[in-house]
Structure 1
C-alpha cells in the first residue's frame, strides 16, 4: 500500500512510519519540504515546488500526480474537512473522516456532547451579535479554525465578534493537552502534558502555545489522579459520540 501523508509538516509522521519498519511506501506533501524528508520518501512541497505561501488548498495542487492508496493527515488539516476529502479523492482515509471532522470541530456540537455526558464545560456563544452579553463572565474570543493559540484574545465590552469566531467562557486553571487512541467505540489515554502558554522567555505572548512538559506539573498526586480520570472520561465520551478513530488530541 502507498500512503500519502499531508499537512503543514509531514516530516515527523513520515519519519516515524519509515523507522517503524512499516512495509508500505510513504509519500508526503507539506509546506516545508525539509531536505532530509526527501532522503526518506518521495515528497512534494508547497514552498519548494510551488513557491507559494502556506494555504491548505495548495496541498491539493502540490499533491497532484502523486500515486497513493490511502491518505493520512496531520495538523492543520483537521480544520479543513473539505481539503481532506478532495485530497483523498475517494481513497481510504487512515483517520477520522471529513464528516467526523466537521462534527467534532463544531463548538456547539462538541460542548453539547460534554454536557450530555455530565461533564462540566465552559459556556460558549456563537451569535455574531450576542445580545445582553454578561461581562461578569470573562470571555475569550476564539477562531473556529485555529491551532497553537493563534487568534485567541480576551473579549472586552465594545469588541465585535467577527465571522469565523466564537466566545468561550474564560476559566482559570492549568492548560493541559492529552493524546489518545480511539477505535470509534472507546479510547485509550496515551499521555498528558502541561502546555506552556504565552511564555515571553520562549518568545510567545497572550495565548500562544510554545511547548509542553510531561505531567504531573503544578499538581499533587491526588489532584493528578483526579485530572487523569476526568480527561479519560472526556476522551471516551467524545469517542463514543463522534466515532473517533486513530490518534487524537484534546486541549
Structure 2
C-alpha cells in the first residue's frame, strides 16, 4: 500500500508540472468619459500594465445608451435605437479635425506580455486600409511575431457614413509579445474588445499552492527517512 508520504510527494510533482495561472485582459473602453480622450495621457488600464502611445483615442458613440459621446459609430441597437456598445478605440492624429490623408500609427504596450488568443473587433470606413502587427518588445521593437491585414469597411444603415460594420479578427503566433502596432489611414478605423491572454508555458514559476505542497512533500520525505532509520 502506498504510504501517505509517497502520495504527498506524487501530488507535489503533479502540481509542479501544471501550467501557471492563465490571465486574460479585455480592453473594451466602456468606462471612458463621453469626451474623446487621449489614451497616451489618460489611461484606464495603467494598473494592468497597459500603455498607449500618441494617436490612440477613446471614443464614445453619439447614440450610446447612457452619456452619449462624439463618435459616429455603433454596434447593435436597442429598442430605443441606442447603441449597445458605448466605447471604442480610435486611430487618429486629431479626432476633432478632418483626416490628414496619410497613414498613421500607435502602439499598445503590455508590460506582462501575452502569448495566445489575441483578438479584436474593428470597423473601417469604405476607404480605410491598415494593419495590426505584434512584436516581442515594447514600441514595436524586437521580433515581429505576426500581422493582421485590415480591410476597408462598408456603408451601413440606419445612418449612412457611420461605422457600424464590425469585423472580428484574431491572430495565432509563437512567442511572447509585448506590443501591438495599429497602423492605418488617419481617422478611418475604430477598434474594440481587444483580448490579450497570457498562458504561461514552458517552465513557469510555480504557483504558491504548488510551492507549499512541494515543501510539505519534502518534509514528509525527510520524516519518512528518519523513521526508517530508527
If the length of structure 1 is used for normalisation, what is the TM-score?
0.28
- Greater length-normalized contact order (CA 8 Å, ≥ 6 residues apart): 2
Larger radius of gyration: 2
In terms of fraction of residues, the more strand-rich structure is: 2
